[in-house]
Amino acid sequence: MTSGRKKMNIEEIVSKMTLEEKASLLSGKDFWQTENIDRLGVPSIFLSDGPSGLRKQAAAADRLGLNKSIPATCFPSSSTLANSWNESVTYEVGKALGEEASYEKVSVLLGPGANMKRNPRCGRNFEYYTEDPYLAGKMASGFVRGIQDENNGVSACVKHFAANNQEERRMVIDTILDERTLREIYLTAFEIVVREGKTKTIMSSYNKINGDFTNENQPLMDILRKEWGYEGVVVTDWGGSNDRVDGLRAGNELEMPTTAGETNEEVIQAVKDGRIEEKYLDDAVKRLLKLIDETTKAREDKENFSVEAHHKVAERAAEESVVLLKNDGVLPLDVKKKIAVIGNYAKNPRYQGAGSSIVNPTRIDSAFDLFPDAVEGYIGYEQGFDRYGKKSKKLASSAIKLASSADVIIMYIGLDEVSEAEGVDRPEIKLPQNQIDLIDELSKLSKPIVGVLSCGSVIEMPWVDKLSALVHSSLGGQAGAGATISVLTGKVNPSGKLSETYLYNYEDTPSFKHFPGKMKSVEYREGLFIGYRYFDTTGIAVRFPFGYGLSYTSFEYSDLEVTETGVSFNIKNTGKLDGKEIAQLYIGLKYSNVFRPKKELKGFTKVFVKAGETVKAEIPFDDKSFRYFDISTNKWEIETGDYDIYIGASVKDIRLEGKIHKDGVKNTPYDKKQLISYFTGRVDDVDDAEFTALIGRPIPSPEFDFYKKNRMKLGYNDTVGEIRYARGAFTRFLFHVLNGVYKLMKKTGKRSTANLIEMSVYNQPFRGLSRLTGGAINMPMLDGILVIVNGNFFKGLGIFLKENGKKNKANKLKQKAEKEKQSASAN
């Protein structure tokens, strides 16, 4: 990569490393950096969050987005970018983001997230692309290629590998699912981003899959390394390391953040005991050194990037991602008409999600600032409603007053930043009632209302009929406001389409009965049928289907040709404006021995067509087009059959149909009689017997291991929230105090503090007290805490204090030895 640079001699370095050095390299030096070994010329590297911008913390470090980071461009969230259906857009964003990382000497950018949106309530959906693995894989690949552009010298880090689809109890939850669902739905996006995006780093997730933590999960790591040929580094999610030695053995090179040497000792001991061969360490060290070497350019001094140019990249990306959901003709706006802007989000845009992805933007555009210049007939702004849902007659009546004198009302609505946050799932998917009430009131004026919606995940929209138009700007990043205004005024013809299904009611979700997992596990009883795969197969009506989005022009599809290598067809722009159309290729097989969704996305293209002109669109088939994962042969197969080819403007709006025959196998891996729900797609209420048949083994008990009613012995991987069931009365009392605070916070509107308690206390496993405190609490001290929790207060306290003393003494000795070493080398 870097021209003229001397490459590291990795073999030589490893041969000179001591066991201690090897162990130390594989665990963080601090919260964000790896160890350096100066005598061998091994520098430490910096890892920082993304994915919607760089979050490099110069001062106090945390993984929750609490402390500020250095200013960086805030790009649209992944959920927004996915609506562009344009890999070159994610590439451009990734490239600019990588440039910022490189300027800040960040070697690994922690993103993008390639997890599936299994359920609309997952608190982190805004950070993920879509409910479809193919689209997610493609979007993520563009993003990764951009970050890893050779001028940047930065590595992306695709996360969270894998099947990490709820925030509740995220660090301990066991995801129970069948092999085929794992492969086809939850791993395919990762597979694409490994093979096509060529990511150099992957972050394992916090959860377990079928009983094992992902970073210790040998079958999962074997898929990654042996099947997909991945040669990069796997890093734990922060604090996600459980048994360090098992993780290392499974192939997880880097543990983050630091445990102040505690796990290094475990690794060294394990080598000495023969529990792990030193060769494992050598291989892991080599892969890490390769990453360090390949990111050398990221650590060189560089000219500053152009803040203005990156703002423009963010704006262009947002423009491509805006989805026009409804339009009775009021849009594009007649700018000469009297236009009132209403809604808190016009002035304080909601442009990003909360948690580790939070960016400190270089600047923020708002509709309030941009409207007066962009729209001639602008007559003013009113806040209209309280952002956090409090009812206010005063705010509403001022808005109604302003709206009364307008010809068109533009209403900025959405979800506040506390509603969509890492670490907490959403309790519901509704727009706050005060906003719905205002829509009601305004609609009584019988004037056109144009909604502009800001949120990063699906919401119910029973109020949409009251609007004349609805523009979904999602979470558009720092330049999103300008992009939306360009769409409103027609400067930009909208070309985004939904990357997830907008359902009528949350209860329609196929995983409704199994989300989130509340105790030990979460069962993916809906199997393959997430998102449109379920709605399309069962015919259950939705508000806006997957792949849907309007334009100010219209397109006609014709002349489908299906060949062995792919499909081609014509798209004619039949309107008066130039525009872009996203055409989607879905494939299905009606007469199949294996159950399948009616159709699945297997390709797409976004084409620009001038008004009145026709463009020939082509979508090639690839290795994913016809494959399914066969559990009887344990590999990908193509089933013999006549496949249906659908070309759609959305999953529901199929414009062209064709057929192609494929020869392959005709296996019968399933007993149809046992799996009726899966063969019909009605998977919303799968019973125990059927799920047992699907996973091919008894369903592990999801219940806590109570030794008597509501009492359990707590261990490393029980969460702090479970102290409500602790044996020790004092501990249970503590829980009630904490819960009192939590409830009070919720009641008094301090939702972000309540969220914090939920994420970092309730959902924190005890293990995290040691894995995340950088050595302040070590495992023997944690043992003392657990003795307290489990009912022996004084004994536990004694252990805790004794171990704390031992730790402090050892630290002092270490510091002394280091000082002596330093002064010896200075002399």
Which is closer to ligand BGC, CB of 49 or CB of 253?
Answer: 49
- What are the backbone angles phi and psi of residue 38, rounded to the nearest 5°? -60, -40
Closest approach, Cβ 288 to ligand BGC, in A, equals 18
- Cα separation of 562 and 321, whole Å? 29
Sheet strands side by side (includes 155-161): 47-49, 108-110, 155-161, 201-204, 233-235
3-class DSSP assignment, residue 650: coil
237: annotated active-site residue: yes
Q: How many amino acids of this chain bind ligand BGC (CB under 6 A)?
A: 7
Nearest CA to 194 out of 158, 219, 226 is that of 158
- Which two tokens mark 723? 């102290």
Task: Measure Cα distances from 687 to 498, 522, 530, 677 in Å.
Answer: 32, 14, 17, 9
Closest approach, Cβ 185 to ligand BGC, in A, equals 20
- Cα separation of 326 and 441, whole Å? 20
Q: Exposed, middle or buried by CB within 10 Å (0-12, 13-18, 19+), for 60?
A: exposed
Nearest CA to 233 out of 296, 288, 280, 293 is that of 288
C-beta atoms surrounding 463 within 10 Å: 20
Q: Which of residues 792-811 bind ligand BGC (CB under 6 A)?
A: none
Nearest CA to 286 out of 1, 4, 47, 15 is that of 15
- Give 90-153 as a 3 state SS string: HHHHHHHHHHHHHHCCCCEEECCECCCCCCCCCCCHHHECCCCHHHHHHHHHHHHHHHCCCCCC
- What are the backbone angles phi and psi of residue 581, rounded to the nearest 5°? -125, 135
Alpha helices in 572-724 (DSSP H): 676-680, 688-695
Nearest CA to 64 out of 265, 266, 237, 244 is that of 237
Angle between helices 480-489 and 367-374 in degrees, nearest 10: 30
Which is closer to ligand BGC, CB of 258 or CB of 509?
Answer: 258
Contacts of 591 (CB under 8 A, 6+ apart): 641, 642
Identify whether the C-beta of residue 265 lies closer than 8 Å to the C-beta of residue 258: no
* Distance between first and last Cα of the chain: 39
Query: Quick check: 106 binds ligand BGC (CB under 6 A)?
Result: no
Q: Exposed, middle or buried by CB within 10 Å (0-12, 13-18, 19+), for 554?
A: middle
Query: Quick check: 762 binds ligand BGC (CB under 6 A)?
Result: no
| Rg over CA atoms, the chain | 27
Contacts of 325 (CB under 8 A, 6+ apart): 453, 464, 470, 471, 472, 498, 502, 544, 548, 549, 550
Closest approach, Cβ 317 to ligand BGC, in A, equals 21
Closest approach, Cβ 394 to ligand BGC, in A, equals 40
Closest approach, Cβ 238 to ligand BGC, in A, equals 4
- Cα separation of 256 and 26, whole Å? 9
Which is closer to ligand BGC, CB of 28 or CB of 496?
Answer: 28
Burial 133-156 (b: 16+ CB within 10 A, else e): bbbbbbbbbbbbbbbbbeebbbbb
- Provide the β-strand partners of residue 175: 209, 522
Q: Which of 63, 326, 497, 767 binds ligand BGC (CB under 6 A)?
A: 63
Query: Quick check: 238 binds ligand BGC (CB under 6 A)?
Result: yes
Closest approach, Cβ 27 to ligand BGC, in A, equals 15
Query: Quick check: 237 binds ligand BGC (CB under 6 A)?
Result: yes
Which is closer to ligand BGC, CB of 35 or CB of 49?
Answer: 49
Closest approach, Cβ 405 to ligand BGC, in A, equals 48
Closest approach, Cβ 766 to ligand BGC, in A, equals 17
Query: Quick check: 110 binds ligand BGC (CB under 6 A)?
Result: yes
- Cα separation of 460 and 463, whole Å? 9
Closest approach, Cβ 257 to ligand BGC, in A, equals 8
Query: Quick check: 449 binds ligand BGC (CB under 6 A)?
Result: no
Which is closer to ligand BGC, CB of 175 or CB of 509?
Answer: 175
Closest approach, Cβ 109 to ligand BGC, in A, equals 10
Which is closer to ligand BGC, CB of 51 or CB of 261?
Answer: 51
Closest approach, Cβ 703 to ligand BGC, in A, equals 26
Closest approach, Cβ 250 to ligand BGC, in A, equals 19
Q: Which of 159, 326, 580, 624 binds ligand BGC (CB under 6 A)?
A: 159
Residue with tokens 């760089």: 54
Which is closer to ligand BGC, CB of 108 or CB of 342?
Answer: 108
Q: Which of 13, 22, 44, 49 binds ligand BGC (CB under 6 A)?
A: 49
Nearest CA to 400 out of 463, 331, 449, 353 is that of 449
Which is closer to ligand BGC, CB of 165 or CB of 553?
Answer: 165
Q: Which of 125, 356, 486, 763 binds ligand BGC (CB under 6 A)?
A: 356
Which is closer to ligand BGC, CB of 79 or CB of 538?
Answer: 79
- Cα separation of 457 and 427, whole Å? 13
Identify whether the C-beta of residue 453 lies closer than 8 Å to the C-beta of residue 488: no
Task: Measure Cα distances from 199 to 228, 233, 247, 253, 465 in Å.
Answer: 12, 9, 20, 15, 44
Looking at 237, 293, 425, 718, which residue is catalytic? 237
Which is closer to ligand BGC, CB of 242 or CB of 356?
Answer: 356
Which is closer to ligand BGC, CB of 12 or CB of 62?
Answer: 62
- How many Å separate Cα 175 from the centre of its chain? 17
Which is closer to ligand BGC, CB of 63 or CB of 117?
Answer: 63
C-beta atoms surrounding 500 within 10 Å: 27
Amino acid identity, position 50? G
3-class DSSP assignment, residue 50: coil
Closest approach, Cβ 74 to ligand BGC, in A, equals 16
Which is closer to ligand BGC, CB of 100 or CB of 237?
Answer: 237
Query: Quick check: 178 binds ligand BGC (CB under 6 A)?
Result: no
Could you give the residue numbers annotated as active site? 237
- Name the residues that contact ligand BGC, by CB under 6 A: 49, 63, 110, 159, 237-238, 356
